[in-house]
Amino acid sequence: MIDIKFLRENPDIVKQNIKNKFQDSKLPLVDEVIELDAQARNTKQEADNLRAERNKISKQIGALMAQGKKEEAEAVKKQVTEKGEYLAQLEKKEAELNEKVKNIMMVIPNIIDESVPIGRDDSENVEIQRYGEPVVPDFEIPYHSEIMESFNGLDLDSARKVAGNGFYYLMGDIARLHSAVISYARDFMINRGFTYCVPPFMIRSDVVTGVMSFAEMDAMMYKIEGEDLYLIGTSEHSMIGKFIDTIIPEDKLPYTLTSYSPCFRKEKGAHGIEERGVYRIHQFEKQEMIVVCKPEESRQWFDRLWQNTVDLFRSLDIPVRTLECCSGDLADLKVKSIDVEAWSPRQKKYFEVGSCSNLGDAQARRLKIRVNGDNGKYFAHTLNNTVVAPPRMLIAFLENNLCEDGSVKIPEALRPYMGGMEKITKS
């Protein structure tokens, strides 16, 4: 959420930012919020003046009573009562105006970084760099669900009966591989200095609206009926929410945390839930990383975060590339974002396996995450990035490590988590 003072002083910059994100329908909101903000401030000033005037004349009552001027005292009491009633009306009006301002400000997109390429959607994202040599083997690589099923490792039919499309049973060595990847990712991040955390898997509505836009919330979140609770779509939601309404001593920053959680997503408006595979699903598990830091350090941390994901995938012999997300592909709270995509030998193209985002002070402003520095209090910057998100990550792993005989090699780094196995073979 943008600072209202910045919007008030720089409406043209805010409008150009909206245009750069191809959200022209939101342009009238800028003038609307400026007008409502002016009304709110004028109402507050009127209320402050009235409050001071009421307090001043209230002090006269005791003196008049002491002088035996009961009628005059009663007249002053009446004035105080009338002013109190009008003050209550002003306070109510001020609260209503501030609520309208807040609701509009929650919809106006954050100011994107000047380095972000301008484009309408993900088709205009810009490739930055490739890591590892993409290989297409001489033999045919089956669809990922067929690879899993060849090891008796995937049961979609039973899951469909139990929960519907978008769910799965992982079995045997494939389930073990899934857990091994999560455990390896956990230790990988701990070894890079991050503190491990298992967060709540449900969060309240004030945290949801603090970490994401309303559009994202509607498309992603599952609501618990009868409760002010939502299932998390990613542990980033809980992890950033951990700092809600806190004042952090500056010398405690940065906070660098890596978290495990299941994730639940409606995938509303997505390309559809597949019946055949586990690429787009309602439930998955994820290792995440988040940083809460000083504003001047967020760009540096952004580059470190996405590099962690690249390094992890390369340690498992999976070629990847990085893509700079264009303006139209950025969620409203994001300042800058880079996707990490893994190579698919079967499709002969890359596909997304993680996303790294710098949100500036947008989440901190919504959640009131402040820092107590030498020169006063200010809002922290927050960042997040995917370490790994199986079972999607397993698709890249299985395709890139599949052997011609149908076995799957286990890279050396992962073997300790697989009981020393060098290959997964068909029984």
Transcribe 370-412 into DSSP letters: EEEETTEEEEPEEEEEEEE-TTHHHHHHHHHHB-TTS-EE--G
So where are the chain's domains?
Answer: 4-105, 122-424
The fraction of the chain above a pLDDT of 70, given in percent, is 97
CA nearest to 414, candidates 181, 176, 172? 181
CATH number of 122-424: 3.30.930.10
- Write the single-letter amino acid at 229: L
CA nearest to 398, candidates 130, 148, 117? 148
The pLDDT of residue 38 is: 97
The pLDDT of residue 56 is: 81
| Residues with Cβ within 8 Å of residue 86, at least 6 apart in sequence | 50
The number of beta carbons lying within 10 Å of the beta carbon of residue 46 is 15
The pLDDT of residue 268 is: 59
CATH number of 4-105: 1.10.287.40
Tokens of 360: 């500036």
What's the Cα-to-Cα distance from 278 to each of 146, 180, 266, 391, 395, rounded to whole Å? 11, 18, 14, 6, 8
The pLDDT of residue 273 is: 56
Cα(390)–Cα(280) distance, rounded to whole angstroms?
11
Divide the 427 residues of the chain into consecutive groups of 10 and give the mean pLDDT of each group: 94 98 97 97 93 80 73 78 88 95 94 97 96 95 96 95 94 97 98 98 94 81 94 94 97 97 79 70 95 97 98 97 97 96 96 96 96 95 96 95 96 97 91
Helix (H) or strand (E) holding 46: helix 27-66
Tokens of 237: 């939601």
